[in-house]
Chains A and B, each alone.
Chain A
Amino acid sequence: MEESVNQFKVIAFHLGDEEYAIPVTNVGSIERIQHITRVPNTPPFVKGVINLRGVVTPVIDLRERFNMEKTPYTESSRIIIVRIDELEVGMIVDGAHDVVDVMNEDIEPPPEVVGSIEVNYIKGVIKLQKRLLVLLDLNQVLLQEEFNRMKEIGS
């Protein structure tokens, strides 16, 4: 079990050209894009709710969450269902490819600016041979205060 302390698995996905990662333990499942019911009077990045096997689950667009340029969904777009604490939220990404084994020492602290997203959503940067994965801080991404602030701006 010594391995597990030092090593963990992440799900790698991309938004545009950039690759991101979240720990596999936070991921419930990865779904194809399906019908999303819009929920009015919520921030723009909240796309609505989906029927996830009988559970009504909210879905956010991660591109819009990070104020990136909006693009239409494609065949490779996916909804990653993440769970932290009591929250269960779907995040729309441009594509989710693989599960990667990461050693703790592969993670570097976040630089001042990484790609296009604000630094407080980032836990660190994972350096693999030819790839750079941005490890997201899900707590920050799904933070309620942030949500409320965005809601006020949105409305």
Chain B
Amino acid sequence: METNQYLEVFIDESKENLQIVNDQLLELEKNPDELSIVNEMFRAAHTLKGMSATMGFDDLADLTHKMENVFDSIRNQIAKVDANMMDVLFDSVQALEEMIFDIENGGDGKKDVQIIVEQLKRIEKGESIDVEASSVVTTEENPTNTTQSSNTSIDLNEFEWTVINQAQSDGYSVFHIDVSLAEDCLLKAARVFMVFEVLENSGDVIKSIPPVDDLEDENFDHSFEVLLVTKETDEDVKHKILKVSEIVEVDVKLFDDKPMTEEEIEKIELEKQEKDVDEATEEGKKSVNNKAVNSNKTIRVNIDRLDVLMNLFEELVIDRGRLEQLSQELNHNELKSTVERISRVSSNLQNILLTMRMVPIDQVFNRFPRMIRQLARELNKEINLKIEGADTELDRTVIDEIGDPLVHLIRNAIDHGIETPEIRKKNQKSEQGHLLLKAYHSGNHVFVEIKDDGAGINKDKVLKKALANGLVTQEEAKTLTDQQINEFILASGFSTADKVSDVSGRGVGLDVVRNTIESIGGTVEIFSEEGKGTTFSIQLPLTLSIIAVMLVNLKDETYAIPLSTIIETAVIKKDEIMKVHNKEVIDFRGQIVPLVDLREVFTVESDREDDYYSIVIVRKGDKLAGLVVDSFIGQQEIVLKGLGNYLTQVFAISGATILGNGQVALIIDTNALIK
């Protein structure tokens, strides 16, 4: 059986299931008595086990199986949920994650999990001394106590069920075949191979027990079972198999035991679950509902294909611009109305395409609860994490970038922000620190906030450090706003931590956070009140492939400046320009802003003899600069393009775009122009 083609699906689904287990574990920790949570985990773990076994990842299957047993013990109230147990379970999830990661990277998913397995075993039985061991379900084939179907000792995952249902509705029969080899059979693997060859000539084998790998390695006694989808009759199949020598017995049964199938049980469980959930929290209900919807209405699409689609569409956008311009020039009525229609349709298409690439920020958020839990334990702090707006959607390219910065900020909040329970108590705060992770849409941006109710930023300390590091002069220090002082902690090499810990405090990190966020066109703001807590607010663009820019002219050349960096534009009189240290500056709303003449930077022949200067005020962090241009053209949505591999690292140019007239305009990297 060829399993490679399912590998991708396997990895995706495993991750999903693992995430469910992870989420539910955290949930369970909060509500140890809520058994519906265990059911959910059990199902996810069970599916994971089934899939890994089919794919031949034994370590993965084994560990999941042990976890499953623990869940079962919890469900049957044999084992009690406590912190130690949670630790072991989290460790297991981590181990599983590593294995799947390994498989994804082409490894074999093998890992020594002996210790965890031992621990799981102990938990499974540890507290069940009074209870008869027999009540602990250990048979792999009967995961739920209610499953006592005699003819289905094969457990199937969702995927296999789909195949079976499909086959049955297409008029194929599904047979459950029990094949016994002769006791003295010498070449078991060879016989198995021959049987499979026979079977695959008559139909498709969808499942075998034990898995094919074990069969090939002769890891079985003298019989094995398979599920076969075929159009032939049971008699035909039986006779064909019996022709293989050393096969002593073949038992072919029609596999259509719907009333006792696991699917049925799952349904019952789901209904039960929904009832439970009805009584339980809103949130839980939402997640169940979401799941039900998702399973019906989504398909998996390779991200590369979406990228190709996006590229093609970008070309279309450029041609659309050209077409619009041409139809204006030609002034032909029918052509005009056709072009208008095309424009309308393609803008709809653009919206759909952009939303297709959107993924919920939950994909980043979902790894935090466990990380925070671990960190809190390491640092002996108590932290209550709240996540809001996890369903807020962002372009995949942005999602890929923000993971690390958020990790930094969260570690920072836990290490420096939230105090230890003792100190909190002394300061008349609740012993448990609160951390809020919040995402929401606003205009063309998404905001992500990380809010803690910890110690806040000690402004005096920051200012002292800033003076010591030479970031500001005594003079400047007096005029700084609170916000500006706070932003010093984003400067490179800046740390007010007296003690360097493993977690943070080395003064690297927050500047990286700021740089990463700014490189994708976002900004970071800090609000803090000493003693009350700190909020980091990150503003992110919705997408990276199509951005809004301001087009400007330099003589006859057109350049684009990303709107996200622009504060405002201004036209000033020549005599308003002052000279400081031989540099031109202007007084912009009470702030001294240096001017950068783009004609000089981009070596455009200069013969400006105007009394008025057109200036674009741009910012990098808290620094401003005024870019002198010849004229403003206007604002436009453009498609970002690279300059190609030949022209790498051109000073102050971050990329290019194609304008409506088919010409290329360069995009200015304003960060390079602000020192």
Instruction: Write the residues of chain A forming the contact surface with B, with a CB cutoff of 8 angstroms.
Output: 35, 37-42, 46, 48-51, 53-58, 86-89, 142, 147
Contacts and interface: CB of A to CB of B under 8 A. Distances in A.
Contact of A40 (B314, B319, B602): B602
Question: What 8 pairs between A and B have smallest CB-CB spacing?
Answer: A40-B602, A54-B315, A37-B664, A56-B656, A58-B646, A41-B651, A56-B641, A58-B647
B658 A39 contact: no
24 contacts: A35-B663, A37-B666, A38-B557, A39-B643, A39-B647, A39-B666, A40-B603, A40-B604, A40-B650, A41-B652, A46-B647, A48-B664, A49-B647, A51-B658, A51-B662, A51-B664, A54-B315, A54-B318, A56-B641, A56-B643, A58-B643, A58-B646, A86-B645, A88-B645
Contacts of A57: 644
B601 interface: yes
Given A41-B602, A53-B315, 18 more contacts: A35-B662, A39-B650, A39-B653, A40-B604, A42-B647, A42-B650, A49-B643, A49-B647, A49-B656, A49-B666, A51-B663, A54-B318, A56-B656, A56-B658, A56-B664, A87-B646, A88-B644, A88-B645
A144 B518 CA distance: 29
A52 B666 CA distance: 15
Contacts of A48: 664
B646 A89 contact: yes
Interface in B319-337: 319
A78 to B, nearest CB: 18
A40 B601 contact: yes
B314 A37 contact: no
A91 to B, nearest CB: 11
A35 B647 CA distance: 18
Interface in B273-325: 314-315, 318-319
A58 B650 CA distance: 12
Given A35-B662, A35-B663, A87 B645 contact: yes
Interface of B: 314-315, 318-319, 557, 601-604, 641-647, 650-653, 656, 658, 662-666
> Which residue among B603, B642, B658 has the maximum number of chain A CB atoms within 10 Å of its CB?
B658
> Which residue among A38, A50, A88 has the maximum number of chain B CB atoms within 10 Å of its CB?
A38
Given A42-B650, A54-B315, A54-B658, A37 B645 contact: no
A37 B665 contact: yes
Contacts of A88: 644-646
Contacts of B656: 37, 49, 56
Contacts of B557: 37-38
A37 B656 CA distance: 10
A79 to B, nearest CB: 14
Nearest to B658: A51
A98 B318 CA distance: 32
Contacts of B666: 37, 39, 49
B327 to A, nearest CB: 19
Nearest to A59: B646
Contacts of B315: 53-54
Given A51-B658, A56-B664, A40 B646 contact: no
Nearest to A37: B664
A46 B602 CA distance: 14
Contacts of B601: 40
A87 B644 CA distance: 8
Contacts of B663: 35, 37, 51
A89 B658 CA distance: 17
Contact of B314 (A35, A54, A58, A89): A54
A2 to B, nearest CB: 36
Contacts of A51: 318, 658, 662-664
A76 to B, nearest CB: 22
A133 B653 CA distance: 39
A57 B644 CA distance: 6
Nearest to B641: A56
Nearest to B316: A54
A30 to B, nearest CB: 18
Contacts of B319: 54
B461 to A, nearest CB: 42
A48 B559 CA distance: 14
Contacts of A46: 647
Nearest to B653: A39
A40 B658 contact: no
Nearest to B651: A41
B10 to A, nearest CB: 33
A57 B664 CA distance: 10
A75 B289 CA distance: 67
A147 B194 CA distance: 64
Contacts of A42: 647, 650
A142 B646 contact: yes
B104 to A, nearest CB: 26
A38 B665 CA distance: 9
B178 to A, nearest CB: 55
A87 B664 CA distance: 19
A42 B656 CA distance: 15
A122 to B, nearest CB: 21
A26 B628 CA distance: 43
Nearest to B648: A144
Contacts of A41: 602-603, 650-653
A50 B652 contact: no
